Amino acid sequence: PPTLGAGHPEAATIALRYLGIPYQWGGASPSTGFDCSGLVMYVYEQLGIKLPHQAAAQFGYGAPVPRDQLQPGDLVFFDGLSHVGIYIGGGEIVHAPHTGDVVKISPLTEFANYVGARRL
């Protein structure tokens, strides 16, 4: 298998700036709120990387990463590709969970339905 590149650890740092921003379905900016893929799209756009606004479509980008090799900035996918977050290290992700919640940090172990990860 090909060697994984360094990825974009700075994406984890950028994502942490948006903790507490309200969840908004279809949202993709701090002024209107974020949904899960909108947060990922917005963070990576600041690094010059254009991604679609849909978790399942984002799964098609980058290279697959084994769960035991996750690094900050990797995208992690759950719920049949209907949810995505950004790995920040220490077994935790930043994500926009659902209506009524805010962008927050959650442990990977909170998700029973892990699908996979990608490194951009």
Residues annotated as part of the active site: 36, 83, 95
The rounded Cα 65 to chain-centroid distance in angstroms is 14
Taking the alpha carbons of 5, 11, 16, 22 in that order, is the dihedral positive or negative?
A: negative
- How does DSSP assign 61-77, residue by residue? SSEE--GGG--TT-EEE
Residues 6+ apart with CB under 8 A from 50: 44
CA distance 16 to 80: 25
